[in-house]
Amino acid sequence: MEINARILNDDGLKAIKHIFDIARSGITSNKTAAKLKTPDFAQISSIIYDDKFTTIAPDTMIDPNRTFSNRLELGLYLNSIIDKKSSLSQYENVGFWAWISALYLNQILEPNKAKTEYKLWTDVRYIPLREFTKLRWYRHLCYLPYHICSRRPKASAEFFLIMEPYKHSDNIEQLWTADKDFTSSPGIIEVAKELYIDKESKNYRRNYLGKGAGSARRLATVIVKQWQMNYDVNMLSRDQVWELLPKEFDGWKKLSTR
Task: Tell the smallest beta-carbon distance from residue 103 to another protein (Å).
Answer: 23
CA angle 149–63–167, rounded 5-degree value: 50
25 belongs to the binding site for another protein (CB under 8 A): no
Member of 115, 211, 254, 258 binding another protein (CB under 8 A)? 211
Distance CA 164, CA 108 (A): 8
Q: Which residues of 212-223 are buried (b: 16+ CB within 10 A; e: fewer)?
A: eebbbbbbbbeb
User: Considering beta carbons, is residue 48 or 148 the nearer one to another protein?
Assistant: 148
20 belongs to the binding site for another protein (CB under 8 A): no
Distance CA 109, CA 101 (A): 10
Distance CA 212, CA 27 (A): 35
38 belongs to the binding site for another protein (CB under 8 A): no
130 belongs to the binding site for another protein (CB under 8 A): no
Distance CA 204, CA 197 (A): 4
35 belongs to the binding site for another protein (CB under 8 A): no
Task: Tell the smallest beta-carbon distance from residue 182 to another protein (Å).
Answer: 9
Task: Tell the smallest beta-carbon distance from residue 136 to another protein (Å).
Answer: 8
Task: Tell the smallest beta-carbon distance from residue 244 to another protein (Å).
Answer: 5
137 belongs to the binding site for another protein (CB under 8 A): yes
Query: Dihedral sign, CA of 193, 197, 199, 203?
Result: negative
| Amino acid identity, position 19 | I
Member of 25, 30, 201, 257 binding another protein (CB under 8 A)? 30
49 belongs to the binding site for another protein (CB under 8 A): no
Distance CA 147, CA 71 (A): 11
Distance CA 105, CA 97 (A): 12
Number of residues near another protein (by CB under 8 A): 52
Site for another protein in 56-115 (CB under 8 A): 87, 90-92
Task: Tell the smallest beta-carbon distance from residue 15 to another protein (Å).
Answer: 21
Task: Tell the smallest beta-carbon distance from residue 50 to another protein (Å).
Answer: 28
Distance CA 216, CA 210 (A): 8
User: Considering beta carbons, is residue 103 or 236 the nearer one to another protein?
Assistant: 236
8 Å CB contact between 75 and 161: yes
Contacts to another protein by CB under 8 A: 28-31, 87, 90-92, 121-122, 129, 131-135, 137-139, 147, 151, 173-174, 176-180, 183-184, 211, 217-218, 221-223, 226, 229-237, 240, 243-247
